[in-house]
Amino acid sequence: MSDLPSEWTHEPRKILRFSPGDKVADIDPNSTPGYTGDKDGSEEVQAERNERFADLQEMLYANGRAGDHRSLLLVLQGMDTAGKGSIVKHVVGAGNPMGIRYTAFGVPTEEERAHHYLWRIRKALPVAGQIGVFDRSHYEDVLVVRVHDLVPPEVWASRYVEINAFEKELVDSGTTIVKCAMFVSLDEQKDRLAARLKRPDKYWKYNPSDLDEREKWPAYQEAYQAVLDRTSTDHAPWFVVPCDKKWYTRLAVNELLIEALKSMELEWPPADFDVEAEQKRLKKA
Ligand code: ADP
C-alpha cells in the first residue's frame, strides 16, 4: 500500500518521468506536478518524509552490513542554482551519514583528465548498502563538454551509448539509479545569483563563471534535450524536476528516493544469533 502523503495526486516516479518526445522547452520550472499542497504546509510534509527516507536508508545500510550487495545512486544534474546542494542538505542530509557517499564533480583535475571520463565516476560509486550522491556527474561529459567544445563532436557523440551501457552494468550489479534533471528558470536563477551576491555567507556559492554559463542557456537546453532523449532508459530513466519552488524540489526528490528504496523491497535483516538466548544472557550479565 502506498504511504504517499495525500497532497500528491500522482506518484512522482510516474509524473516526473521523462517520456520520449517530451521537450525541455516545454518544462515549466515553476510548476509543481502531481502536488496539490503549497509552501505553507510543505515543511510538515517534508519533516515526515525525511523520517521515512531515513528509516529506509538505514534499512538499506543494515542490509549492506548483512551481506546484501545492493546500493542506490542519486544523480543530480542541473544548471547553477537549480538546488543540487539543497537536496544534499535537506533531503539526503536527513539520512545517516554512515551510509551516504557524496561526491561533487567539478572541472577534472590533471590526473582525472589523463584517464577515461568514467574513471573518476567509477571510483565514486556507492558500495553495498550505501546511497551514492553525485552532485553533477558523468553527464557533464555530454553537457559542459558539448556546449564548450571541449572535445570534438564525434567524441562526445559516442558517449551517450557508452553511458547507457555503463549504467546498465551498474544496475545489473545491484545499483538502483535515480537520475534527476533539475530545471530552474532564467529569471529564478538571476534572483538566486543576486541573493548570493548580497550575502557574505553566500559568496562561497558564487562563481563568476556562472554568468558565462547563463549566456549559453540555449546551448545547454539543447544539450539537456539530447541527454534526456538519448539516456532515459528503462534501467535508468530520467526524472524531470521543476526547481523554481525549492520546497517542491525537495519534496519531489525525497519521494523519488523513497519510491526507489521501497521498490528494493527491503526488510530488516534477521538476527544471525539466538535472540532469546542473548536476552537471557544479558539479564545475568
Ligand atoms: P557547483 O557549480 O556545482 O557548485 P563548482 O563551482 O565546483 O560547483 O563548479 C563545477 C564546474 O565544473 C561546473 O562549471 C561544471 O560544468 C564543471 N565540470 C564538471 N564536470 C566537468 C567535466 N567533465 N569537464 C569540464 N567541466 C566540468
**Which of 261, 253, 263 is closest to 12 using CA atoms?**
253
Nearest residue (by CA) to ligand 1, atom 8, is 106
Nearest residue (by CA) to ligand 1, atom 26, is 107
**Which of 247, 248, 226, 250 is closest to 238 using CA atoms?**
226
Nearest residue (by CA) to ligand 1, atom 12, is 106
Instruction: Please work out whether the CB of residue 148 comes within 6 Å of at least one atom of ligand 1.
Output: no
CA distance 139 to 142: 5
Nearest residue (by CA) to ligand 1, atom 2, is 80
Question: Given the CA of residue 84, which atom of ligand 1 is nearest to it?
Answer: 3
pLDDT digits (tens, 9 = 90+) for 83-107: 999 999 999 999 999 999 999 999 9
pLDDT digits (tens, 9 = 90+) for 48-84: 999 999 999 999 999 999 999 999 999 999 999 999 9
CA distance 109 to 94: 31
Tally the residues of the chain.
285
Give the residue, out of 87, 102, 144, with the most ligand 1 atoms within 8 A of its beta carbon, to mutate for a pocket test.
144
Average predicted confidence (pLDDT) for the chain:
97
Instruction: Please work out whether the CB of residue 141 comes within 6 Å of at least one atom of ligand 1.
Output: yes
Q: How far is the CA of 209 from the centre of ligand 1 (A)?
A: 10
pLDDT number for residue 2 = 77
CB 13 within 8 A of CB 256: yes
pLDDT digits (tens, 9 = 90+) for 227-251: 999 999 999 999 999 999 999 999 9
Within 10 angstroms of residue 8's Cβ, the number of other Cβ atoms is 19
pLDDT digits (tens, 9 = 90+) for 168-205: 999 999 999 999 999 999 999 999 999 999 999 999 99
pLDDT number for residue 125 = 98
Nearest residue (by CA) to ligand 1, atom 24, is 107
Q: How far is the CA of 216 from the centre of ligand 1 (A)?
A: 15
Sheet holding 100-104, edge to edge: 100-104, 131-135, 71-78, 175-183, 238-242
Classify 101 in phi/psi space as left (phi over 0), alpha (psi -120 to 50) or beta.
beta
Which runs of E-coded beta strand occur in 40-173? 71-78, 100-104, 131-135
Question: Given the CA of residue 85, which atom of ligand 1 is nearest to it?
Answer: 4
**26, three cell numbers:** 516545454
